[in-house]
Structure 1
Amino acid sequence: MSQLATSFSALPNPIRWNWDFGVGLTDLESANLIALLDALKNHETLGRAAKSTNLSYRSAWGLLRTCESRFGKALVIKGRGKGTSLSDFGEQLLQLNHAACSTLNELHLPWATRLKEILSPSEVIPPEHLRIAASHDLALADWIENGRHLKVDIYWRGSEEALLALSRGECDACGFHLPGYWTSDQSETWLGRWLKPRQFAFFPVMRRQHGLLVAQGNPLSIETLADVVQLNLRMVNRQRGSGTRGMIDQLLAANGLQAKDVLGYGHEEFTHDAVAAAIASGQADVGFGIQAAAMRYDLGFIPLSRDLYCLAARSGIANSPAMRHLMRRFQGNTFHDRLRALPGYEISSMPDEFLGWDKFACMVRSSLDS
């Protein structure tokens, strides 16, 4: 699934990676195994799967036997007259690979884009085409991917990474979120770790409800973060540097809890979708994220806090025609309708233009207090 809205969506990823399963397989064997399992999933016969992966039947069968011996588990089930199907372990391995590819493609995309710009200077994005590094959001991703005439390329990073990218001039604007329990002074102090707030302009976009994502019906009767520790539940976390991870750590501290006491604290995912998927698939009992992610995966949700999702831009970019066009789209009915259709979202009181820090701080206070 591409996370780019426009021209980069067709950009092939020049960054390659491979599994080291820790069982003594070579890089080629690991790569061929994943390709073969994927082909078996689609073709259901070893002969066709082998052909589609440019392996002989004998080589494919030998690879499966070698890998099964190394793993100590069956990868396929061969039934007489029924073809060859994946075992539960084979299915799990393939699902793991697909999830990893989805996450890593998002991480690699900014570097692939940079490489394209270096190798093909003539194809650099024109000034009216905005580059935005942003904290992941379901509504924003859906709106940008399906929006028309949006001259925006967006790549998902944690709030801290996005702010750092803006400070380095690696993007035209960045998306980040502020916890609802912060004061404007706390917000300014936090932003000051990556940029000088008074040298940038800000635009509040939306408010979101955060909380605990649990299985539908909340069978474990989870009510608070303390329950996660007391019941020794498996938690799925967000990656270090994301705004959501910061909220998790602050809420743990506010409840007198320590990260080392949370089972699964080191299990990190890079998007709200990935957190919800981990719970829906049974890999974890609980996670922290936005309410809309819980609905998308038919999960239960326990509200804990709100945040304010904002954009920041350099003052010179904030008043550009491209940015003004983007603001008008944020203020339009299409974006507002998307927010209303998702649980846990509220439309922020949007100004007509990007704001300096003092005006923005006043709006933050009124927005989060209301």
Structure 2
Amino acid sequence: MSEELSYTIEEVSKLLKVSKLTIYDLVKKGELPVFRVGRQMRVDAKDLENYINGNKSTQSSTNPVPLIAPHRAETKKDHNIVISGQDLVLDILGKHIEKHSAYKPLRSYAGSLNSLISMYNGECDIVSLHMFDGDTGEYNLPYIKKILIGYPYILLNLISRKAGLYVQKGNPLNITSWADLGQQHVKIINREKGSGARILLDEQLRIHHISPRNIKGYKHEETNHLSVASAISNGLADAGVGIEKAAKIVEVDFIPLVKERYDLVILKKPENEELIKIVKEILTNSAFKSEINSLGDYDISQTGNILYETF
């Protein structure tokens, strides 16, 4: 491998045939060095080669060591943490954490459900969630209670925001509700499985007794709000689920349908005590709130509130 060659996290995960969050876990534990190009983390080809060769050299014929060792005990010098989620406010949170503590935040851009499962598996430290439960009308907690079984945790509000439907400029098909997506002439573009937007759509279809099989474009997926909005702006679809902010970046109209809570969950374990304290202080800090408020389209009235905590 050339020393000038480098890989993205996704490329490394494909090369090693493991999930991206497993690679984030290796980075978090200091086993795989990374460098940054803007917001993107990259792995130098030589460092990847050294990691692979290092694991090969420690194997024995009788007790081979697996390439990925997820249960290695962390040392005191391990200050990397993984923040999972896609909203811009998480980058701002990471910046404040790095500024006011010894932690070095790493970013995963997985969806809410996949991130929560990764937290259960010990691969994420702070997970952002916006998962609507159609049976209770609640956000996030019904899912957390089902997935983080056996773990103590704290749930904090980060922001609230409007979610709904992107439609083409001028809304030529007069789409105004979830039920309108069931019309035969309406083509949607979907989000990936495990994302909060996909869960919101699926729950609303269930509530309105609409089968996904009857939704044109249901299997066409994009992995973020901007991609969905862009596809609609370019005429590839008539509607898609997203948040208000992306509609102002891309030229589409936005039909607000729900106000969703965007929360943070952190496991309450001894090594996280300092992290929880720092996150609480940041979320209630006026400078942090002012920075979020300046972005517009976010409700910070509950920011920093403890919504649920196990003991």
* 1:300–1:143 distance in 2 versus 1, CA, 3 Å: farther
Partner of 1:199: 152
RMSD: 3.5
User: 1:23-172, aligned counterparts within 5 Å?
Assistant: 109-114=20-25, 117=31, 119=51, 126-134=77-85, 136-141=86-91, 144=94, 149=99, 151-172=104-125
Return the alpha-carbon distance in structure 2 between the equivalents of residues 279 and 326 of structure 1.
Answer: 37
* Count of residues in Structure 1 that have an aligned counterpart in Structure 2: 258
Cα pair 2:133 2:140 within 8 Å, conserved: no
- Whose Rg is larger? 1
> Offset of 1:197 from its aligned partner?
7.3
Q: After superposing the two structures, state which structure 1 stretch, 195-204 or 249-258, moved more.
A: 195-204
After superposition, what is the alpha-carbon deviation per residue over 1:227-267, rounded to whole angstroms, capped at 9, x for unaligned? 23225222111111112211101111222211011111001
One-letter amino acid of the structure 2 residue matched with residue 192 of structure 1: K
* 1:308–1:126 distance in 2 versus 1, CA, 3 Å: farther
> Offset of 1:129 from its aligned partner?
3.0
* 1:139–1:352 distance in 2 versus 1, CA, 3 Å: closer
Partner of 2:236: 283
Cα pair 1:13 1:112 within 8 Å, conserved: no
Unmatched tracts of structure 1, length 5 or more: 1-9, 18-106, 359-370
The equivalent position to 1:302 in structure 2, one of 248, 255, 262, is 255
The equivalent position to 1:262 in structure 2, one of 209, 215, 236, is 215
User: 1:209-358, aligned counterparts within 5 Å?
Assistant: 209-316=162-269, 320-351=273-304, 355-357=308-310
Cα pair 1:319 1:354 within 8 Å, conserved: no
TM-score by length of 2: 0.70
* 1:353–1:222 distance in 2 versus 1, CA, 3 Å: closer
Return the alpha-carbon distance in structure 1 between the equivalents of residues 176 and 154 of structure 2.
Answer: 39
Cα pair 1:236 1:275 within 8 Å, conserved: yes
* 1:334–1:219 distance in 2 versus 1, CA, 3 Å: farther
TM-score by length of 1: 0.59
Partner of 1:13: 8
Return the alpha-carbon distance in structure 2 between the equivalents of residues 188 and 146 of structure 1.
Answer: 26
> Offset of 1:338 from its aligned partner?
4.1
Return the alpha-carbon distance in structure 2 between the equivalents of residues 282 and 312 of structure 1.
Answer: 37
Structure with more helix by fraction:
1
Identity %: 26
* 1:149–1:267 distance in 2 versus 1, CA, 3 Å: same
One-letter amino acid of the structure 2 residue matched with residue 149 of structure 1: K
